[in-house]
A and B are shown apart, each in its own frame.
Chain A
């Protein structure tokens, strides 16, 4: 089964910073990857699908890139509402899904 490793597991950043989170797959998955944002006590929210497609209604400061085994979620200019935990998800073996371990973005 494909495993996803996110790095870092947590990071501290300031409002206005550019932030990048990496997700590495244990084998090539083409662009079968999505990114979610989760705030405490809330369900996840879809940000990016198919590695780089922005979900409707998601601010353009969020972007995704990558294919194969290495993927990146970038927040171009961090906003106060972006402090949350981010998860990648792979669907190469759809409908079986796998999630990464998460990256918590905290306020510096």
Chain B
């Protein structure tokens, strides 16, 4: 079964950091590009970041402004999102999503909730 499982979310104070992880199973992880997408409580979907298969190229939403860093370890079938300088507006459920091709996000994890609050 194709599966993505996120972890690492939690409560963090403004200005703090978190590292999200996403472990893939049931498919050849190294052959897929991957994304992080977030959803603030009661709001719509917002694309966060994208990483190429080898990790050679990285892309971010404009709101990231150098605060987040996406990475992957193909040997561990894992995707990561390092989030620094967190703000209240970063509060959201963060999903990892497999990119079948050109934005065709065909598999999503269940999400991990990040809450930024003092």
A residues lining the B interface (CB < 8 Å): 1, 32, 34, 36, 38, 42-46, 49-50, 55, 87, 89-91, 94-102
Q: How many A-B residue pairs have CB under 8 A?
A: 66
9 contacts between A and B (CB under 8 A): A36-B105, A42-B110, A43-B110, A46-B104, A55-B106, A89-B103, A89-B105, A90-B103, A95-B99
Q: Is the interface of A mostly helix, strand, loop or mixed?
A: loop
Question: Which partner residue on chain A sits nearest B110 by CB separation?
Answer: A43
Do A96 and B45 have beta carbons less than 8 Å apart? no
User: Which A residues are in CB contact (< 8 Å) with B95?
Assistant: 43-44
Known contacts A95-B59, A96-B59; is-contact A102 B106 (Cβ 8 Å):
no
Do A99 and B105 have beta carbons less than 8 Å apart? no
Question: Which partner residue on chain A sits nearest B6 by CB separation?
Answer: A43
How many whole Å from B64's CB to the nearest CB in chain A? 11
| Contacting residue for A102 out of B33, B44, B61, CB 8 A | B44
| Contacting residue for B109 out of A43, A87, A102, CB 8 A | A43
